[in-house]
Amino acid sequence: MTTTVLQRSFDDLGTPLYDVTFCVLDLETTGASPADCAITEIGAVKVRGGECLGTFHTLVNPGVPIPPAITVLTGITEAMVIPAPPVPEVLPAFLEFAEGTVLVGHNVRFDLSFLNAALDATGRPRLEHRVVDTLGLARRLVRDEVPNLRLGTLADRLRLSHRPAHRALDDALATADLLHVMLERAGTLGVTGLDDLLGLPSMSGHAQAGKLKLTDALPRSPGVYLFRDRHGHVLYVGKATNLRARVRSYFSTDDRRKIGALLRETASVDHRVCATTLEAAVLEVRLIHALQPRYNRQAKNWKKYCYLKLTLDEAFPRLSVARTARADGGLYLGPLSSAAMATLAAEAIQTVAPLRRCTERLRAGGAAVREAPCSAGQLGVALCPCAGGVSRSDYDAVVARVVRGLTREPALLFEPLLAKMAALAGAERFEEAAAVRDRAEALATALRRQRRLDGLVRAGRIVLDTGRTGFVELTAGRLTGTGRLLRPWEVDRALLPDHAADPGDGPEPGAVPRHLVDELLAVAAWLDRNHVRARLVEADPDGVWASDLPVLPSFSPR
């Protein structure tokens, strides 16, 4: 009696992984493109159930010169490949070795492109094997654990038995080790069959694919979404023009490192549909400010914003960095994103205006409070009224020039900065010139931001018709109505914890408060994108719409 053994077909994608035979391959070539480069070496190892079933290795005569850089990288010389068989003689043996297997490689598309090009050139059909890319598996399974996904890095960090050496068989053996590690990791996610493995790098095989059901109720509309943990705490707040598409993208195209940890903790996804993308952007900022979600970064640090203040409330004004703006008669620039930015802007002003830098409180009438000038005064870069010898009128002239430069005539500050940069560059003191440039750019950025915020506030109340999405109402730069004139802060109290406080209805007199900056910048960004299609319906007759201020220069090295 003769027993016929039928080879298992991989069309049955439910094949248990321990029954799957993998052919792990790697090629060395003369370059990166199969159009004008050729194979110099083929290495492969056949494995099943964690056991090595055999290896395949041969040098290949490429029929073209091997570039020196490739020889340095791989160690393969022309003398080594001249006696080797050409690729038409190698292909039949390799195809026989790989028959009935699932092909595996690290960035396997590269290897397959060369093999298929060789098959095309010899009149053979292209490979139709099932293919697994360990690069895609590593991206899904260990991306958070390694600095990059190169085979050498993975071999080192995962302590693989074999290490890649830019030789085909060595790299194939290392890739086989990596495959086994990936299969072990995938097993903890319920990946037990070939179909599970093939789907793992895609959204359907995402490590948190079971949580895709959380997106079922999301509409394809603008709005905000909130990832919550099992205790109901908000982990992350985001905005979207299409809620369903954006949240589902976290399971596929978004491979930022924090996303894996975020999805592991997520137990539910809340959402709020908004009438416009502007409402979504503003509501996102307000919710982040109120909830301080752990995985958000932007719009969460508004308490660190600060102002650059010119202390006009004292006899000899100076520059200082202040956390809050007060109605004390001072001139405030900001809020700025950080104390470092405020310090750079102050240094730009001090480069061209000798404002005092000492912080002593002056006596009545400006009498001296110290015997000798401060270090900046001794160096001649600042006036030092603390030590006397500086008339009030002379100092007031310096202050007046700074005030005009910060408000109406920026050229009073920027032209001397440009001249300083040119002089330093002409003297080949390039590092000092670059330092002046950075200070000037910080000041220009601060003034640009100031104008942006002031322009919104001074416009007063406006109503814009945005067409299909209805209208938008802004009051002093804040969104107070959209669609049906619902106030976003009021209608979303259900999303907020009981202790969340309304940040206020509008800006306080004077400088813009820190907690409103992110919202006003979101409104400004929306206006920039939609100013062409938005039609003005109503405007505050007392509002200021245009600015006659001169254009600010840019000092960005780009």
Whether the pLDDT of residue 97 is over 90: the answer is yes
Residue 423, helix vs strand vs coil = helix
Is the CB of residue 361 less than 8 Å from the CB of residue 324? no
Q: Give CA–CA dist 213/401, Å, rounded.
A: 63
Q: What is the pLDDT of residues 298-313, one digit of tens each?
A: 887 888 899 999 988 8
The pLDDT of residue 3 = 34
- Alpha helix (H) ranges present in 122-242? 134-141, 151-157, 168-187, 194-199
The pLDDT of residue 191 = 67
Find how far residue 88's CA is from the centre of its chain: 47
Interhelix angle 339-352/411-426, rounded to 10 degrees, is 80
pLDDT: is 390 or 108 the higher one?
108
Q: What is the pLDDT of residues 220-230, one digit of tens each?
A: 788 999 999 98
Q: Give CA–CA dist 242/469, Å, rounded.
A: 14
Whether the pLDDT of residue 376 is over 80: the answer is no
Q: What is the pLDDT of residues 63-88, one digit of tens each?
A: 999 999 999 999 999 999 999 999 99
The pLDDT of residue 122 = 94
* Cβ-defined contacts of 300-305 (< 8 Å, 24+): 302/514, 302/515, 302/517, 302/518, 303/514, 304/338, 304/339, 305/334, 305/335, 305/336, 305/337, 305/338, 305/514, 305/517
Q: Give CA–CA dist 310/254, Å, rounded.
A: 45
Residue type, 485: L
The pLDDT of residue 257 = 66
Q: Give CA–CA dist 271/216, Å, rounded.
A: 12
Other Cβ atoms closer than 10 A to 225: 22
User: Residue 260 phi/psi, 5° resolution?
Assistant: -60, -45
Whether the pLDDT of residue 15 is over 80: the answer is no
The pLDDT of residue 299 = 81
pTM above 0.75, yes or no: no
Beta strands of 427-497 (E only): which ranges? 461-465, 471-475, 478-482
DSSP conformation letters of 440-453: HHHHHHHHHHHHHH
Structural domains in the chain, sorted by start: 17-199 (3.30.420.10), 208-302 (3.40.1440.10), 310-439 (no CATH), 456-539 (no CATH)
| pLDDT average, residue stretch 264-293 | 89
Q: Give CA–CA dist 160/145, Å, rounded.
A: 15
pLDDT: is 472 or 69 the higher one?
69
Which residues neighbour 539 within 8 Å (Cβ) at sequence distance 6 or greater? 459, 460, 461, 462, 463, 545
The pLDDT of residue 503 = 42
Q: Give CA–CA dist 187/255, Å, rounded.
A: 21
Q: Give CA–CA dist 127/208, Å, rounded.
A: 32
Nearest to 522 by CA among 309, 342, 288, 341: 288
Q: Is residue 458 very low, low, confident or very high in pLDDT (cuts 50, 70, 90)?
A: confident
Residue 540, helix vs strand vs coil = coil
Max Cα-Cα span within the chain: 121
The pLDDT of residue 98 = 96
Residue 463, helix vs strand vs coil = strand
- Across 259-268, 340-349, 457-466, 477-486, the highest mean pLDDT is recorded for 340-349
Q: Is residue 496 very low, low, confident or very high in pLDDT (cuts 50, 70, 90)?
A: very low
- Per-chain mean pLDDT for the chain: 83
- Across 159-163, 206-210, 362-366, the highest mean pLDDT is recorded for 159-163
Q: Give CA–CA dist 71/74, Å, rounded.
A: 5
Q: Give CA–CA dist 117/38, Å, rounded.
A: 9
Is the CB of residue 390 less than 8 Å from the CB of residue 316? yes
Is the CB of residue 196 less than 8 Å from the CB of residue 205? yes
Q: Give CA–CA dist 483/462, Å, rounded.
A: 14
Whether the pLDDT of residue 207 is over 60: the answer is no
Whether the pLDDT of residue 297 is over 90: the answer is no
